[in-house]
């Protein structure tokens, strides 16, 4: 039987229904492989084991035939494959539980595999944004928050900009067509920030019901 872990969401990726004047512009999630490479540093793990395997084979080749020495490196390569499999599974679980959302008023992030949380980032709280794009078109969109808005790096990792600890920057990581997503964000944020706020002012006759007309 199919079970939806997020069936309590009135709107996919959001903890509550949208107001009448708010609508979704874009939704997406990290690609598991990109998250494994960028956040979990899978390529560094592979490189580490490759160096160990070469070193092990090189040392063994001084005392045994080369074919036997290569065989001594096989356990290290099997360990590498196991480590990569574990990392990919963790990245897959994280990616599956993540939903990034852009509306006409805010950026939202539903994150967390074990403990799910949703970050709501109104555009008026975002000072700048940075895009890290790759040749494939995928990349990361990071949000620099204004001075009085802070988030925890540890609580939101890996959905933050790498190596920015003091003022953590929430990020849409490992998404496809990141340039297009950045353009959607820029247009929505520009419109939202520069939308004039109109407050209601009572009519003078209503605000001063006891006023006496001039003779």
pLDDT digits (tens, 9 = 90+) for 159-214: 999 889 888 999 999 999 999 999 999 999 988 766 655 445 554 454 444 444 44
- pLDDT tens-digit profile of 36-46? 999 999 999 99
Residue 57 has pLDDT above 60, yes or no: yes
**pLDDT band, residue 1 (cuts 50/70/90):** very low
Contacts (Cβ under 8 Å, ≥6 apart) of 68: 60
> Closest by alpha carbon to 159, among 179, 173, 145, 146?
173
CA distance 65 to 60: 8
> Closest by alpha carbon to 35, among 116, 114, 117, 96?
96
Residue 215 has pLDDT above 80, yes or no: no
What pLDDT, on a 0 to 100 scale, did the predictor assign at position 149?
79
Residue 46: HSE in the Cβ half-sphere, 13 Å Cα cutoff? 11
Here the tokens at position 138 are 């995928």
CA distance 139 to 174: 5
The answer to whether the peptide bond before residue 158 is cis (omega within 30 degrees of 0) is: yes
Q: What is the pTM of this model?
A: 0.82
φ, ψ of residue 119 in degrees (nearest 5): -100, 130
Among 10-19, 59-68, 78-87, 200-209, top mean pLDDT goes to 78-87
Inter-helix orientation angle 66-96/42-60, to 10°: 170
CA dihedral 86, 92, 100, 128 (to 10 degrees): 30
Q: Which domains does the chain have, with CATH numbers?
A: 24-31+99-193 (2.30.29), 35-94 (no CATH)
Here the tokens at position 212 are 């006496």
């Amino acid at each position: 039987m199919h079970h939806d872990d997020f069936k309590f969401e009135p709107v996919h990726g959001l903890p509550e229904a949208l107001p009448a004047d708010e609508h979704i512009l874009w939704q997406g999630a990290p690609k598991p492989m990109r998250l494994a490479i960028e956040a979990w540093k899978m390529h560094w793990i592979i490189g580490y084991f490759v160096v160990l395997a070469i070193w092990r084979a090189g040392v063994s080749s001084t005392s045994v035939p080369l074919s036997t020495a290569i065989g001594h490196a096989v356990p290290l390569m099997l360990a590498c494959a196991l480590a990569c499999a574990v990392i990919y599974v963790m990245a897959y679980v994280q990616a599956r539980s993540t939903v990034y959302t852009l509306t006409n008023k805010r950026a939202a992030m539903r994150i967390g595999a074990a403990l799910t949380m949703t970050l709501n980032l109104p555009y008026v709280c975002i000072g700048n944004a940075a895009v890290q794009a790759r040749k494939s078109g995928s990349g990361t969109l990071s949000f620099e928050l204004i001075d009085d808005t802070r988030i925890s790096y540890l609580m939101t990792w890996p959905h933050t900009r790498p190596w920015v600890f003091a003022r953590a920057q929430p990020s849409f990581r490992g998404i496809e067509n990141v340039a297009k997503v950045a353009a959607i964000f820029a247009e929505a944020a520009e419109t939202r920030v520069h939308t004039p706020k109109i407050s209601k002012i009572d009519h003078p006759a209503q605000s001063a019901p006891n006023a006496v007309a001039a003779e």
